[in-house]
């Protein structure tokens, strides 16, 4: 039986995906690694370049989502990359040899094998990792981290593992259905992409596993309780547990500021950051222009704005009138937007 | 400055021209510009720039008290009943949680309105009430749709409240530091403080060694964007928010910023392309001429190191030079080879060109092929032939056993000058910032290290060399050999220790210990030698009468509270450092290597000169040297904290007093010559 591991990304994150894939290969050489690609290759890029690294690449167009252009258009880059996760999860669970499916965000890297996950999947249909495992003490920690979790979801959906058992498949189908309709970055209305939904899992489904080992899913939002250190044997620790995987949510200055705010006790954290920045830079193909996303623009290359996506999402008449909203030209949704720009 | 004030116009909301003139008839009589008068003399005379302020505001410092003055606890608890824990201070609740939720601090301030009408404040995640009081009001922003009751609030951070702002951060300003760092600013302590509070911080000048303005802006872009005095902001916020005055691990992070994967680093030197490789005849003619010039022919030495010992200064280079001269003096021919490209790794396959010299005389670029062909024809000319490997950096190791074979070397000697045989990070500094203890190459630490990927190919190549060569290994200290044997299983014919130097003619050090101890740092002033730790130490004890801090070396160092003393060790003046220590009566040398030294010349120089030595735990040969001494010639501190504590308390003086130090002569062994020809070397 096989563990399928997948991530979901666009070409601008390909460097990160490659780093993730390499670290998954290193620690779980027997896992099958798949990429769900919410993008189309830019000119000059050879998709065959990663044939050895990814066992399977599934473009969003092959997921069998009805009215695909209209559906995709209703999502920005983060929403789309997360909205496909349920579909991809169900697709992999249908593989006859799939024992379990592990989803990992592209901005994650593994440092030790995910042993506990494999063990938990033997007895549980799902494994989730909470953003935080213990209460904050500092007032700012409460605002940033605890209130942050209340707004955006208790469990971090940079990671999820599902066992291919009836309850696991039930969870996957429920999640898939919700994401097809409600994968939105809209915390004011109680939604945050694919993540906030999973707060409901412990209530809706039997026997979920909440992985409480501090070595999993270490990130700025939990570093205050998980100082990073490296011992003389070369092991990396987070709060005295071997570091399993680190979630490099942001690697720019703003990301470093957040890491520093909660994790600056040890210099080892910044060694991780140094390595990751260098690794993704080396792995990101030069053929992919900065901020490239095929579905981020209209046919004529003009960038699609957030208000344009929202008005299309919220108005059924526009969806009916423009079944392919990416088109440019006189009868297009793009043209409608320029005529009705005052409404946006 | 010319017409406006005469028309009664105000230069800013912080200065009321008409009020000032009415309140100060002497200024009117003298026909003085009121603002100028206020700045030059009025302020220091206690004259006010605005009409009288409410007492409770005017006299309170710019801290929570002022904010509390605009906070109505009764209103707040009533408005948000059920949302504020009964046991929590309502004001603290507003400052930490409440404003984020859009709660109003009083009926007089509308948080939501302020955030909506000032999106920049929301974007920067600033506390809206505080923003209003510190700068918003000065900029004419409204706190309420219809503002009432706040008209008399002083515009904080303007001239009139400068004094109160200064009260808040007075303890954070170090005039001595400011004066030393900013020689362009003159004046009294108060002048300097005012300079910082008005323009200094905007120019990026630091108020003390404990506050880094540039860092604060980097870490708090909200403050930078809002243009708030960072020191004042820090004092107001540090209690409730995570705001730091200095960057954590600043030294290490500065190193990390420049740390690249070792295999991707550019060569730091290479022989110019125009210099073509010499042919066999040319190289052979140097050897022949050398033989012809000698009455006797003791043998041939082929020696490999990482750079040109004739030109580059350094410990290993000195070793090579010493042995080269000794061999030459005893009628040996010394053929030295170093790589034509200076890189930090082994050379790639088929990139093994050398630069050669014979008894110090430059030959030129030599290909491996030419070298092997020439050496293959030389063995008949020399009664003895030995190969010495000092370093492999930049060298293609695959060619080394072939060199030994072609020259028919009797012995192959391999020096453990550092740990390059264990990792391309020869000092075992993970990511150039921390000693790694050489874990297994598959460890997570190696995975994230700038040397980790290269190490994967480095180790098998080193192993292949040792298996083919089985050299005699010499370590320059007991520590080095022990550590190396623990971390490797490379096959050798023999392994031994030969120290590069030893101290003779020891005599007790007799000198009264002065009231002010002279502290010195010798050696290369770089991060991994502990220079940053020393700089920080010196800066911390600025103005402390117990210590004077010095740097002894060939360059002038710009560091707070450190005086540079010139000392350049050359071949002609090997004792220059010892003489400098003695001449300047340096009492204590801080020898703070961040990695284990294999053999630390500077430590021996310090001890020979009679200085008391302080070194950290884990400093290898130095720690071993101090621990094995019965005379208490130095002290091994656990870490930076203990180093500081030894200085803070009077422990250092006590250690120096109890020490039975000696002075002596530092005798240097001519390296491999002393090993191969010990009787002559003596």
Q: Are B393 and B343 in contact (CB under 8 A)?
A: yes
Q: Cα–Cα distance between B85 and B183 in angstroms, integer? A: 53
* Residues A69 and A174 placed together within one structural domain of the fold: yes
Tell me how close the Cα of B598 comes to any Cα of chain A, in angstroms: 19
What is the domain count for chain A? 2
pLDDT on residue B136:
75
* Count, residues in chain B: 682
When pLDDT is cut at 50, 70 and 90, the band that residue B56 belongs to is very low
Res. A146: pLDDT tops 80? yes
* Residues A249 and A177 placed together within one structural domain of the fold: yes
Choose between A94 and B49: higher pLDDT: A94
Domain final residue, candidates B229, B255, B281: B255
Q: Which of B448, B289, B198, B55 lies closest to A245 in space, CA to CA?
A: B448
* Residues A320 and A263 placed together within one structural domain of the fold: no
pLDDT on residue B44:
64
Task: Find the mean pLDDT for residues A16-43.
Answer: 97
Give the domain extent around A143. 2-283
* Residues A173 and A246 placed together within one structural domain of the fold: yes
Q: Are B327 and B253 in contact (CB under 8 A)?
A: no
Q: In the predicted model, what is the mean pLDDT of chain B?
A: 89
Q: Establish if A150 touches chain B: CB-CB under 8 angstroms.
A: no
Q: Cα–Cα distance between B454 and B265 in angstroms, integer? A: 12
Contacts of B242 in chain A (CB under 8 A): 138, 140-141, 261-262
Res. B55: pLDDT tops 90? no
Closest by Cβ to A143, choosing from B96, B433, B446: B96
pLDDT-above-90 percentage for chain A:
90
Task: Find the mean pLDDT for residues B101-113.
Answer: 84
| Bridge partners, residue B208, by sequence | B211
Q: Are B1 and B36 in contact (CB under 8 A)?
A: yes
Q: What are B396-412's pLDDT values in tens digits?
A: 999 999 999 999 999 99
Res. B577: pLDDT tops 90? yes
pLDDT on residue B209:
86
Give the domain extent around B479. 269-419+471-497
* Residues A233 and A306 placed together within one structural domain of the fold: no
* Residues B385 and B283 placed together within one structural domain of the fold: yes
The nearest alpha carbon in chain B to A266 belongs to B249
* Residues B274 and B236 placed together within one structural domain of the fold: no
Res. A13: pLDDT tops 90? yes
Q: Establish if A243 touches chain B: CB-CB under 8 angstroms.
A: yes
Q: What are B288-344's pLDDT values in tens digits?
A: 999 999 888 999 999 999 999 999 988 899 999 999 999 999 999 999 999 999 999
B558 falls within a domain: yes
pLDDT on residue B58:
36
Q: Are B177 and B159 in contact (CB under 8 A)?
A: no
Task: Find the mean pLDDT for residues A306-319.
Answer: 96
Closest by Cβ to A111, choosing from B97, B219, B444: B444
- A56-59 and A32-37 beta bridge pairing: parallel
pLDDT on residue B680:
67
* Residues A188 and A275 placed together within one structural domain of the fold: yes
When pLDDT is cut at 50, 70 and 90, the band that residue B161 belongs to is confident
Contacts of A141 in chain B (CB under 8 A): 242
Whether A257 sits inside 8 A of B253 (CB atoms) is: no
A289 falls within a domain: no
Q: Establish if A281 touches chain B: CB-CB under 8 angstroms.
A: no
* Residue A96: strand, helix, or coil: coil
* Residues B552 and B641 placed together within one structural domain of the fold: yes
* Residues A278 and A302 placed together within one structural domain of the fold: no
Whether A233 sits inside 8 A of B439 (CB atoms) is: yes
Q: Return the number of other C-beta atoms located less than 10 Å from residue B272's C-beta.
A: 7
pLDDT on residue B295:
85
B492 falls within a domain: yes
* Residues A83 and A174 placed together within one structural domain of the fold: yes
B529 falls within a domain: yes
Q: Cα–Cα distance between B124 and B110 in angstroms, integer? A: 18
Displacement of CA A241 from its chain's centroid (Å): 24
Choose between B161 and B192: higher pLDDT: B192
Rounded (10°) CA dihedral B580, B583, B586, B589: 20
Domain final residue, candidates A233, A258, A283: A283
B25 falls within a domain: yes
* Residues A195 and A52 placed together within one structural domain of the fold: yes
Q: Is A71 exposed, middle or buried (0-12, 13-18, 19+ CB in 10 A)?
A: middle
* Residues B655 and B569 placed together within one structural domain of the fold: yes
Q: Are B476 and B498 in contact (CB under 8 A)?
A: yes
B509 falls within a domain: yes
* Residues B183 and B220 placed together within one structural domain of the fold: yes
* Residues B334 and B374 placed together within one structural domain of the fold: yes
Q: What angle do CA B306, B308, B313 make, to 5 degrees?
A: 95
pLDDT-above-90 percentage for chain B:
63
The nearest alpha carbon in chain A to B237 belongs to A140
On the CB side of B641, CA atoms within 13 Å amount to 1
* Residues B248 and B293 placed together within one structural domain of the fold: no
Q: What is the CATH number of the domain that holds B291?
A: 3.40.50
A48 falls within a domain: yes
Domain final residue, candidates A233, A257, A283: A283
* Residues A308 and A278 placed together within one structural domain of the fold: no
Enter the tokens of residue B305: 């190191």
Burial B315-350 (b: 16+ CB within 10 A, else e): bbbbbbbbbbbbbbeeebbbbbbbbbbbbbbbbeee
pLDDT on residue B682:
55
- In the block, tokens 């999820």 appear at A160
Q: Cα–Cα distance between B153 and B239 in angstroms, integer? A: 24
Domain final residue, candidates B497, B531, B552: B497
Report DSSP state, residue B668.
E
What is the domain count for chain B? 4
* Residues A63 and A9 placed together within one structural domain of the fold: yes
B104 falls within a domain: no
Res. B158: pLDDT tops 60? no
Q: Establish if B253 touches chain A: CB-CB under 8 angstroms.
A: yes
When pLDDT is cut at 50, 70 and 90, the band that residue B678 belongs to is confident
Q: Establish if A267 touches chain B: CB-CB under 8 angstroms.
A: yes
Domain final residue, candidates B191, B224, B255: B255
A130 falls within a domain: yes
Choose between A62 and B134: higher pLDDT: A62
Q: What are B452-500's pLDDT values in tens digits?
A: 999 999 999 999 999 999 999 999 999 999 999 999 999 999 999 999 9
Ramachandran assignment for B200, one of left (phi > 0), alpha (psi -120 to 50 degrees), beta (any other): alpha
Domain final residue, candidates A234, A251, A283: A283
| Pure H helices in A94-129 | 115-120
Q: What is the CATH number of the domain that holds A143?
A: 3.90.550.10
* Residues B520 and B596 placed together within one structural domain of the fold: yes
Q: Cα–Cα distance between A187 and A180 in angstroms, integer? A: 18
B119 falls within a domain: no
Contacts of B298 (CB under 8 A, 6+ apart): B327, B330, B331, B332, B383, B384
A210 falls within a domain: yes
Q: Are B130 and B229 in contact (CB under 8 A)?
A: no
Contacts of A179 (CB under 8 A, 6+ apart): A82, A83, A84, A85, A86, A87, A194, A197
Choose between B166 and B58: higher pLDDT: B166
Q: What are B221-270's pLDDT values in tens digits?
A: 889 988 899 999 999 888 888 889 999 999 899 999 999 999 999 999 99
Q: Is A203 exposed, middle or buried (0-12, 13-18, 19+ CB in 10 A)?
A: exposed
* Residues B518 and B650 placed together within one structural domain of the fold: yes
pLDDT on residue B2:
67
Choose between A43 and B85: higher pLDDT: A43
* Residues B361 and B226 placed together within one structural domain of the fold: no
* Residues B341 and B489 placed together within one structural domain of the fold: yes
* Residues A189 and A327 placed together within one structural domain of the fold: no
Q: In the predicted model, what is the mean pLDDT of chain A?
A: 95
A290 falls within a domain: no
* Residues B641 and B659 placed together within one structural domain of the fold: yes
Helix (H) or strand (E) holding B534: helix B531-540
pLDDT on residue B112:
82
Tell me how close the Cα of A231 comes to any Cα of chain B, in angstroms: 8
Rounded (10°) CA dihedral A229, A234, A235, A240: -40
Res. A344: pLDDT tops 90? no
Q: What are B360-386's pLDDT values in tens digits?
A: 999 999 999 999 999 999 989 999 999
Res. B422: pLDDT tops 60? yes
B72 falls within a domain: no
Query: Which residue of B215, B448, B483, B532 to mutate against A (max A Cβ within 10 Å)?
Result: B448
When pLDDT is cut at 50, 70 and 90, the band that residue B19 belongs to is confident
pLDDT on residue B154:
40
């Amino acid at each position: 039986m096989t563990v399928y591991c997948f991530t979901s990304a666009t070409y601008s994150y390909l460097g990160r995906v490659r780093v993730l894939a390499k670290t998954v290969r290193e620690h779980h050489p027997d896992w099958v690694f798949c990429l769900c690609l919410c993008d189309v290759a830019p000119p000059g890029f050879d998709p065959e370049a990663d044939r050895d690294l990814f066992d399977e690449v599934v473009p969003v167009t092959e997921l069998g989502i009805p009215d695909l252009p209209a559906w995709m258009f209703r999502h920005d880059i983060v929403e789309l990359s997360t909205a496909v996760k349920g579909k991809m999860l169900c697709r992999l669970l249908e593989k006859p040899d799939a024992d379990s499916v592990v989803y990992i965000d592209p901005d994650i890297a593994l440092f030790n094998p995910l042993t506990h996950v494999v063990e938990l999947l033997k007895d549980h249909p799902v494994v989730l990792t909470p953003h935080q495992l213990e209460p904050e003490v500092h007032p700012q920690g409460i605002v940033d981290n605890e209130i942050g979790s209340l707004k955006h979801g208790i469990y971090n959906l940079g990671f999820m593992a599902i066992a291919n058992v009836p309850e696991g498949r039930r969870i996957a189908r429920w999640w898939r259905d919700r994401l097809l309709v409600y994968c939105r970055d809209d915390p004011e209305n109680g939604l945050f992409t694919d993540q906030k939904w999973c707060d409901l899992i412990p209530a809706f489904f039997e026997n979920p596993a909440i992985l409480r080992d501090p070595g999993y899913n270490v990130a700025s939002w939990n570093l205050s309780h998980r100082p990073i250190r490296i011992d003389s044997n070369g092991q990396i620790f987070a709060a005295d547990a071997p570091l399993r995987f680190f979630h490099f949510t942001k690697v720019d200055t703003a990301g470093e500021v957040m890491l520093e705010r909660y994790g600056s006790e040890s210099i080892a954290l910044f060694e991780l950051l140094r390595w990751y920045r260098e690794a993704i830079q080396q792995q990101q193909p030069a053929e992919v222009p900065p901020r490239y996303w095929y579905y981020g623009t209209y046919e004529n290359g003009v960038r699609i704005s957030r208000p344009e996506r929202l008005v299309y999402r919220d108005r059924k008449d526009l969806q009916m009138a423009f079944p392919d909203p990416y088109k440019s030209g006189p009868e297009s949704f793009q043209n409608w937007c320029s005529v009705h720009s005052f409404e946006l | 400055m010319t017409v406006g004030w005469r028309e009664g116009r105000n230069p800013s909301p912080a200065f009321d021209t008409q009020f000032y003139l009415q309140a100060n008839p002497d200024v009117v009589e003298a026909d003085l510009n009121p603002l100028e008068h206020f700045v030059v003399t009025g302020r220091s005379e206690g004259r006010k720039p605005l009409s009288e302020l409410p007492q409770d505001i005017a006299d309170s410092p710019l801290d929570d008290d002022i904010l509390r003055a605009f906070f109505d606890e009764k209103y707040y608890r009533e408005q948000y009943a059920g949302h504020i824990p009964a046991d929590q201070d309502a004001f603290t609740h507003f400052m930490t949680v409440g404003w984020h939720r859009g709660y109003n601090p009083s009926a007089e301030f509308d948080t939501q309105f302020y955030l909506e009408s000032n999106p920049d404040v929301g974007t920067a995640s600033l506390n809206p009430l505080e923003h209003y009081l510190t700068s918003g009001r000065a900029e004419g922003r409204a706190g309420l749709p219809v503002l009432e009751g706040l008209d008399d609030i002083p515009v904080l951070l303007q001239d009139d409240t400068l004094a109160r702002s200064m009260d808040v951060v007075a303890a954070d300003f170090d005039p001595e530091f400011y004066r030393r760092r900013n020689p362009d600013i003159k004046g009294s302590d108060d002048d300097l403080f005012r300079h910082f509070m008005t323009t200094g911080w905007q120019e990026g000048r630091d108020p003390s060694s404990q506050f880094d303005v540039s860092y604060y802006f980097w870490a708090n872009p909200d403050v930078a964007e809002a243009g708030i005095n960072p020191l004042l902001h820090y004092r107001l916020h540090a209690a409730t928010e995570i705001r730091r005055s200095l960057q954590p691990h600043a030294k290490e992070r500065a190193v990390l910023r420049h740390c690249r994967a070792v295999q991707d680093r550019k060569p730091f030197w290479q022989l110019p392309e125009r210099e073509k490789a010499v042919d066999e005849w040319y190289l052979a003619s140097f050897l022949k001429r050398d033989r012809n010039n000698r009455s006797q022919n003791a043998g041939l030495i082929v020696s490999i190191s990482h750079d040109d010992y004739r030109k580059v200064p350094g410990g290993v280079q000195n070793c090579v030079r010493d042995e080269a001269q000794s061999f030459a003096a005893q009628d040996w021919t010394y053929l030295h080879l170093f790589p034509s490209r200076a890189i930090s790794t082994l050379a790639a396959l088929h990139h093994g060109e050398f630069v050669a010299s014979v008894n110090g005389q430059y030959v030129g670029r030599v290909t491996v092929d030419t070298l092997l062909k020439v050496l293959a024809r030389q063995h008949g000319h020399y009664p003895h032939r030995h190969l010495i490997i000092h370093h492999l950096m930049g060298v293609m190791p695959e060619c080394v056993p072939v060199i030994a074979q072609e020259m028919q070397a009797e012995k192959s000697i391999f020096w453990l000058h550092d740990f390059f045989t264990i990792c391309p990070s020869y000092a075992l500094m993970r990511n150039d910032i921390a000693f790694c203890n050489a874990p297994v190459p598959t460890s997570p630490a190696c995975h994230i290290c700038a040397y980790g990927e290269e190490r994967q190919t480095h180790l098998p190549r080193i192993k292949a060399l040792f298996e083919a060569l089985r050299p005699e290994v010499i370590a320059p200290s007991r520590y080095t050999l022990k550590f190396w044997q623990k971390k490797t299983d490379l096959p050798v014919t023999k392994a031994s220790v030969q120290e590069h130097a030893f101290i003779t003619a020891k005599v007790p050090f007799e000198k009264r210990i002065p009231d002010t101890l002279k502290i010195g740092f010798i050696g290369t002033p770089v991060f991994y030698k502990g220079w940053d730790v020393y700089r920080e130490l010196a800066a911390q004890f600025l103005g402390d009468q117990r210590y004077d801090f010095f740097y002894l070396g060939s360059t002038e160092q710009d560091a707070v509270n450190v005086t540079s003393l010139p000392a350049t060790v050359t071949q002609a003046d090997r004792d220059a450092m010892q003489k400098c220590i003695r001449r300047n009566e340096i009492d204590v040398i801080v020898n703070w290597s961040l990695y284990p030294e294999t053999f630390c010349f500077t430590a021996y120089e310090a001890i020979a000169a009679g200085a008391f030595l302080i070194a950290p735990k884990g400093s290898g040969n130095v720690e071993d040297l101090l621990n094995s001494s019965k005379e208490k010639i130095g002290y091994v501190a656990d870490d930076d904290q203990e180093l500081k504590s030894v200085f803070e308390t009077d422990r250092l003086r006590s250690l120096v007093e109890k020490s039975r130090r000696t002075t002596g002569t530092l005798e240097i062994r001519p390296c491999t010559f002393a090993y191969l020809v010990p009787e002559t070397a003596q």
